[in-house]
Amino acid sequence: MRKVLITGPESTGKSSLAARMSEELGVPWVAEHARTYLRQLGRPYEEADLLHIAKGQVRAEEAAAQGCPPLLLCDTGMLVMKIWSEYKYGRCHPWILEQLHARPYDLWVLCGIDTPWEADPLREHPHARQTLYGLYQAELKALGVPFIELWGTLEERAARMQAVLEGMR
């Protein structure tokens, strides 16, 4: 099974890309757990909630992997949790950091910030996209993982990602 992690700042098309690629390729995708968690929370989130979100994301990914699909697309992962936590609270729970290093992916996909910002009650940083994008780039380079950066329309991103995935076979 190959695993692909789609990551990046808020409102960069991660979920749209994951859903599109899942449909086009006929493979499962793991949705972003934070959205479900935060919608059900009933109060503003706190730092401790980030660990619950991270654990839910890992559980969802592991459940999807049980079926051993040839390809598993993961919308968001521990890198998002790390950057979100450090940006908002100045620190990150050790469990999240441990999972970031322990969960291997065959490809990391960093979504560019050229998509229009879409307002959403769960999004917080419309004016920090460039800063956050730089943090993602730096983290991916420091992790030494194989990653690509995708820019352009959803169609352009999907076509490039499909070409990259075909080249990985």
pLDDT of residue 125: 78
pLDDT of residue 124: 77
Closest CA to 120 of 11, 9, 2, 1: 11
pTM summary value: 0.94
Q: What is the CATH number of domain 2-167?
A: 3.40.50.300
What does the pLDDT profile of the chain (169 residues) look like in tens digits?
A: 999 999 999 999 999 999 999 999 999 999 999 989 999 998 999 999 999 999 999 999 999 999 899 999 999 999 999 999 999 999 999 999 999 999 999 999 999 999 988 877 777 777 899 999 999 999 999 999 999 999 999 999 999 999 999 988 6
Q: Where are the domains of the chain?
A: 2-167
For the chain, report the end-to-end CA distance as a whole number of angstroms: 11
pLDDT of residue 1: 92
DSSP string covering 29-97: EE--HHHHHHHHH-S---HHHHHHHHHHHHHHHHHHHTT--SEEEEES-HHHHHHHHHHHHS---HHHH
pLDDT of residue 117: 85
> Burial, 15: exposed, middle or buried (Cβ in 10 Å; 0-12, 13-18, 19+)?
middle
Which residues share a beta bridge with 109?
Answer: 6, 148
Q: How far is CA 58 from CA 2, 31, 61, 74, 95, in A?
A: 16, 11, 5, 10, 11
The single residue listed with the structure tokens 């990602």 is 161
| Per-residue tokens: 81 | 């949790």
